[in-house]
Amino acid sequence: MFDLTLSFDNGPEPEVTPLVLDVLRERGIKATFFVIGDKLADPERRLLAARARDEGHWIGNHTYTHSLPLGLQHDPDAAEHEIASTQRLIDGLAHPQRWFRPFGGGGNLDARLLKPSVVDHLCSNDYSCVLWNAIPRDWDDPDGWTVRALAQCGAQAWSLMVLHDLPTGAMRHLEKFLDSAAAAGARFRQDFPPDCVPIRAGKIVLPIKSYVSSIEEESAAP
Identify the active-site residue in 9, 57, 62, 66: 9
Residues 15-64: tens digit of each pLDDT? 999 999 999 999 999 999 999 999 999 999 999 999 999 999 999 999 99
pLDDT-derived band at 221 (thresholds 50, 70, 90) equals very low
Identified catalytic residue from 38, 164, 165, 179? 164
Band (105; pLDDT cuts 50, 70, 90): confident
Q: Is 164 a catalytic residue?
A: yes
Q: Give catalytic status of residue 195 as yes or no.
A: no
pLDDT tens-place string over residues 140-186: 999 999 999 999 999 999 999 999 999 999 999 999 999 999 999 99
- Compute CA 92 distance to the chain's CA centroid, rounded to the nearest angstrom: 18
Task: Judge residue 159's burial from the number of C-beta atoms within 10 Å of its C-beta, 0-12 exposed, 13-18 middle, 19 or more buried.
Answer: buried
Residue 155 CB contacts under 8 Å (≥ 6 apart), including other chains: none
Kindly report the pTM of this predicted structure.
0.96
Instruction: List domains and CATH numbers for the chain.
Output: 2-217 (3.20.20.370)
